[in-house]
């Protein structure tokens, strides 16, 4: 399975953590570093996903569990919590043009905390599509200390394209324009790009 490039520095450090004591003290001393390296490979997995075909579809921007569907006059926000065991690659929910990318430094509350979307470190993308503007917000959590966004203003994206990742536990919010009704409910599991 492919692995995101962002795993490389972690894998180098963990490789050294396993190799040095393993060579000096025996293979058993390499076990902790090896186990952590395997976890990093698992965490940074980047599977290929084939988005479903069809008109008017809005895809999930992340793997995880839906923890909120907040209907407001300006549109609906779908909140997705990503555990350490979910794939953390974020994907575009629709085809369009990235209109704005805005990074906001902040706190590191638990990603499931309702206030996390307003006070935590986050990165917001506005994707301008035929049906309106769709927002994807990458929100850092307690362990997530690095948000990676691989898109910039003016980039064209197709539904399901990779737009970034959040390292080590996080949350992704999807803002739908008014009139677009989500088909997911709180508690459902979703997969990015599908």
Residue range 144-169, pLDDT digits in tens: 568 899 999 999 999 999 999 988 76
Q: What is the mean pLDDT of residues 168-186?
A: 91
Length of the chain: 194
- Say how far apart CA 60 and CA 41 lie, in whole Å: 23
Q: What is the mean pLDDT of residues 84-89?
A: 89
Pull the structure tokens for residue 113: 């905390």
- Say how far apart CA 17 and CA 35 lie, in whole Å: 11
Q: Which residue has the higher pLDDT, 20 or 138?
A: 138
Q: What is the mean pLDDT of the chain?
A: 90
For the entire predicted model, the pTM comes to 0.87
Helix (H, G, I), strand (E, B) or coil at 37: helix
Per-position b or e across 70-82, b if 16+ CB within 10 A of its CB:
eeeeebbbbbbbb
- Say how far apart CA 32 and CA 18 lie, in whole Å: 7
Check residue 11 and give its pLDDT: 83
CB 64 within 8 A of CB 172: yes
- Say how far apart CA 168 and CA 147 lie, in whole Å: 10
Per-position b or e across 83-118, b if 16+ CB within 10 A of its CB:
eeebbbbbbbbbbbebbebeeeeeebbebbbeebbe
Out of 83, 92, 170, 189, pick the active-site residue: 170
Residue 58, pLDDT above cutoff 70: yes
CB 170 within 8 A of CB 9: no
Check residue 144 and give its pLDDT: 58
Concerning whether 92 is annotated as a catalytic residue, the answer is no
């Amino acid at each position: 399975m492919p692995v995101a490039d962002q795993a490389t520095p972690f894998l180098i450090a963990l490789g050294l953590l396993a190799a040095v004591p393993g060579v000096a003290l025996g293979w058993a001393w390499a076990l902790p570093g090896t186990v952590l390296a395997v976890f990093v490979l698992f965490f940074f997995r980047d599977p290929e996903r084939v988005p479903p075909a069809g008109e008017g579809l809005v895809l999930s921007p992340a793997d995880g569990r839906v923890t909120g569907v907040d209907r407001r006059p300006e549109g609906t926000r779908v909140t997705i919590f990503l555990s350490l065991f979910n794939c953390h690659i974020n994907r575009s929910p629709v085809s369009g043009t990235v209109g704005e990318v805005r990074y906001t430094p902040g706190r590191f509350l638990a990603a499931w905390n309702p206030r996390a979307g307003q006070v935590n470190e986050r990165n917001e993308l506005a994707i301008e599509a035929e049906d309106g503007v769709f927002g994807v917000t990458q929100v850092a959590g307690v362990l997530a200390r690095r948000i990676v966004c691989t898109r910039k203003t003016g980039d064209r994206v197709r539904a399901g394209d990779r737009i970034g990742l959040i390292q080590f536990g996080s949350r992704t919010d999807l803002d739908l324009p008014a009139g677009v009704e989500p088909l997911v409910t709180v508690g459902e599991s979703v997969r990015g790009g599908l």
